Amino acid sequence: MPWLKKFIGAALVLGGVGAVAGWVLSAPVRLDAETVAKLGPGDAARGKRIFNAGGCTSCHSKPGSKGDARLQLVGGLELKTPFGTFVPPNISQDAKDGIGAWSVEDLANAMLKGVSPTGEHFYPAFPYASYARMKPSDIADLYAFLKTLPAVAGKAPDHALSFPFNIRRGLGLWKRLYLSDQPVVPLPDGTPDPVMAGRYLVEGPGHCGECHTPRAFTGGSKKSQWLAGAAAAEGSGIVPNITSGEGGIGDWSEADIANYLETGFKPDFDSVGGAMVDVQKNMAELTPEDRAAISAYLKAIPPHPNGYPPRKKPAS
């Protein structure tokens, strides 16, 4: 049956072409020379602000750490998700088990492109999908601050992922869908400076959308429902809507939001709880101006009308 042989041959050719195309499209992409040149020397004092805004201790310090021990970034926290268990690595200055041997360019590629020094994709449990919006100079400042922190020996356990999530190469295709350095919320010309500053902190280093925005089945954020609330990535529970939409923070003033970030107390005098406890500790380390900027942005963005989970429309 000559037609069957031709069909099989064509299918094999198309399959081979598809495999090659997939391999090329999924390849890790590093920073270009122009972006690397913008890194600069870095300043540790400024880097401390970025460190706190990014909440590095929340994932990378040993679980249960208090006080100065939170700066021992040995990793080991288990993040149990539908895709498997992710374990944040040691990012202390230990040259063997941590990132002490990394260059500033290595850190920039990790945070802006999700690529390791050895050329592998990082899993987006490391929130580089948000960090991609950061300024290269802020990465350099963060690098300078990290250099002031202690080296701590001890390698964190590997991720525990099942097939196909254990195949890192596929993340290259995921990045083509979800990795962007563009702002999530477009703001018009003439937007007040505090709102613009807040957008940078929330959408970039603060990576608030990683928890407060619902995700597609592929694990990417649904930006059309930005900050509208989501199912908790691990365990049970709901991460709240932090827009002014129904079920959100519409009745909170900017001062209420800023006070919550500083003190942990809500307008009704209830206190912060759950995973937000660590986040609030980090926010309290920022300046009043930074917290005011975050508050201004949250009040300026479009309210999501439904929150999470989406409310069903009443039957007609």
Could you tell me how many residues make up the chain?
316
pLDDT, tens only, 113-134: 999 999 999 999 999 999 999 9
Confidence at residue 235, expressed as pLDDT on a 0 to 100 scale: 59
Q: What average pLDDT does the structure give for the chain?
A: 87
- The answer to whether residue 82 sits within a structural domain is yes
Confidence at residue 23, expressed as pLDDT on a 0 to 100 scale: 46
Same structural domain, 38 and 169: yes
Confidence at residue 316, expressed as pLDDT on a 0 to 100 scale: 41
- Its pTM stands at 0.88
- Among the ranges given (22-26, 91-95, 214-218, 266-270), the one the predictor scored with the smallest mean pLDDT: 22-26
- The answer to whether residue 12 sits within a structural domain is no
Which residues lie across from 79 on neighbouring strands?
A: 86
Using left for φ > 0, alpha for ψ between -120 and 50, and beta otherwise, residue 237 falls in left
Q: Please determine, for residue 273, whether its predicted confidence score (pLDDT) is greater than 70.
A: yes
- The answer to whether residue 81 sits within a structural domain is yes
pLDDT, tens only, 237-249: 788 999 998 889 9
pLDDT, tens only, 191-217: 999 999 999 999 999 999 999 999 988
Q: Please determine, for residue 25, whether its predicted confidence score (pLDDT) is greater than 80.
A: no
pLDDT, tens only, 126-160: 999 999 999 999 999 999 999 999 999 999 888 88
The domain tally of the chain equals 2
Same structural domain, 286 and 172: no
Confidence at residue 314, expressed as pLDDT on a 0 to 100 scale: 42
- The answer to whether residue 58 sits within a structural domain is yes
Same structural domain, 161 and 192: no
pLDDT, tens only, 293-303: 999 999 999 99
Q: Cα(150)–Cα(90) distance, rounded to whole angstroms?
A: 12
- Mean pLDDT across the stretch 220-227? 92
Please give the single-letter amino acid code of residue 196.
M
Same structural domain, 145 and 129: yes
Confidence at residue 277, expressed as pLDDT on a 0 to 100 scale: 87
- Mean pLDDT across the stretch 8-37? 69
Q: Are 187 and 193 in contact (CB under 8 A)?
A: no
Same structural domain, 62 and 116: yes
- The answer to whether residue 235 sits within a structural domain is yes
Same structural domain, 173 and 41: yes
Give the domain range for residue 163.
30-182
Same structural domain, 62 and 164: yes
- Mean pLDDT across the stretch 167-171? 85
Show which of 137, 167, 182 is a domain's final residue: 182
Show which of 154, 182, 210 is a domain's final residue: 182
- Mean pLDDT across the stretch 224-243? 84
Show which of 126, 154, 182 is a domain's final residue: 182
Same structural domain, 123 and 249: no
- The answer to whether residue 3 sits within a structural domain is no
CA 48 to chain centre: 18
Confidence at residue 130, expressed as pLDDT on a 0 to 100 scale: 97
The pair of structure tokens assigned to 229 is 């609330």
- The answer to whether residue 1 sits within a structural domain is no
Q: Please determine, for residue 16, whether its predicted confidence score (pLDDT) is greater than 80.
A: no
Same structural domain, 260 and 211: yes
- The answer to whether residue 2 sits within a structural domain is no
Same structural domain, 173 and 193: no
Same structural domain, 63 and 166: yes
Same structural domain, 139 and 73: yes
Q: Please determine, for residue 101, whether its predicted confidence score (pLDDT) is greater than 80.
A: yes
